[in-house]
Chain A
Amino acid sequence: MSRLVIKNLHVSVKDKEILKGVNLTVEEGETVALLGMNGHGKSTLLGAIMGNPNYTVTSGSVKLDDVEILGLPVNERSKAGLFLAMQYPAEIPGVNSADFYKAAMNAHREKPMSLFQFYSSLQSAYKAMEIPFEMSQRNLNEGFSGGEKKRNEILQMKLLDPKITFLDEIDSGLDVDAMQIVAKAINEEQAKGKGFLVISHYARLYSMIHPTRAAVMVNGRIAVEGGPEIIKRIDTEGYEWIKTELGISLDKDEAPMNKVSIGVCATKEAALGGEKK
């Protein structure tokens, strides 16, 4: 059984330290809910493990079955069995979706697939995600609606069959029907014994995919770990109790809500802001 072990991970964006020593383990067969307020480093954790160039790992380790992931190029991390469904999937001009899926699927195997094999898996994945098959001839994510992009991420998860999947706010931009389709696809992978690390701000998704554990990120560290009851508690009480019960004060260097309100935006802002100067 595969096991992802994150140890004392420190990550910076430009010169600002976002993750300050994260320790967390995710095993195949588990679904871990990653909770925490905006701007505390949840998206940064997923992006850094996958190798997003916006993030600099300053120390720590991330091992998948004793292989140090942080030493691998990004594509090798995918081939090792990790998959990140992104919060904001990139729109890639001119790159045909089907060509891209074929290249990605072939990268994951020794011998390239036959055209027949490829099209039958592609067709069944499109069918399961209830996306019209014609979309496979469109440019990758270009002009897709928010919901289409998210379904497309799950479609890729199905095609690539990762051991451990990271879902970064997969439910944002999805209507109720689409959420059910996505949850069903996740449930199927769970039944196969795959592992998930899931960021969501809504209890609805969690009620559909039943996390086995929850971890709460505060100030760039995992402050609390426990059973799924934590999700319910945060959904009803918010994060205030962490402050009072655990005596953790929340860092005040967060930008005010009206300026930058979500984690990935904060890091984007830091990255882009630096370039402009």
Chain B
Amino acid sequence: MGITLINNEISDRDFEVKEGEELTLNLAYFDAFKPCKINVKVHKNATLNAAFADFGKGKGKFEFNVYLEEEGANCNFHSACLASASDDKVFDTSVYHNAAHTSAIMSNYGITRDSSKLVFTGVSEIKKGSIATVTRQEAKIIVFDPDCKGACSPILKIDENDVSASHAATVGRLNEQHLFYLLSRGIDEQTAKRLITLGYLKPVEQYFDEEALRENIDKAIEEGI
């Protein structure tokens, strides 16, 4: 099953993915950024594929909580976020492993520009008894301008031994050596920065089902950089 929510359609919601089912949840902000809280419960052998493309303007916190309630529940969450002008956005994406043999990927990529602020936070929690659980958290932000701020603070809470958990968090300026590599092949600085930015934001498109929506995301990325 697939659900697509865009702009105003996004609001505080609770979803449930029933036994053996698969839910694709595609979310995108193109105009105003609205604070909001979404909870998803995933049951036995069910899968949540969620993707969020955020080009919204504004301030606030977007909260996304996934509860893997029964054995074999999976979650794949991928987001790409552009913060510019005076945006001040917090993404709190958490996953709770409440059963054995559950797996989750929570991946957040962001770009901050101008005097904006962007924070990626969230907890990946593995309850006692949730054996053979796999969890991964990724949070990466490129800070483009001197006045903008980016912060990543993924948290792992693990109360079980037999698990595989990893996290990666990086916040940094555009890598000088990456830029040099591209420039040294004749590409001008603006195009090189564009390529690197695209490389950060564009991969999220593959998680969106609708062609038209992918095109809109493409356009928003092009306009944003």
Contact = CB atoms under 8 A, between A and B. Distances in A.
Contacts of B166: none
Interface stretch (A28-36, A77-85, A246-254): A77-85
Interface string B178-200: 10111111111101100110111
Contacts of B199: 92-96, 139
DSSP majority for the B interface?
Answer: helix
Contacts of A96: 199
Interface residues of B, number: 23
A89 B60 CA distance: 40
A96 B188 CA distance: 17
Contacts of A139: 199
A107 B198 contact: no
B20 interface: no
Given A51-B180, A89-B181, A90-B178, A95 B195 contact: yes
Given A92-B199, A100-B195, A107 B186 contact: yes
B203 interface: yes
A74 B177 contact: no
Given A53-B176, A75-B189, A107-B188, A94 B183 contact: no
A57 interface: no
Contacts of B177: 52-54, 90
Contacts of A79: 186
Contact of B198 (A77, A94, A156): A94
B191 A103 contact: yes
Given A94-B199, A95-B196, A107 B185 contact: yes
Contacts of B184: 50-52, 74-75, 77-78, 83-84, 86
A73 interface: yes
A160 interface: yes
A135 interface: no
Interface of B: 175-178, 180-189, 191-192, 195-196, 198-200, 202-203
Interface of A: 50-54, 73-75, 77-79, 83-84, 86, 89-90, 92-96, 99-100, 103-104, 107-108, 139, 156, 160
Given A78-B185, A94-B198, 7 more contacts: A51-B180, A52-B184, A53-B177, A75-B189, A90-B175, A92-B196, A107-B187
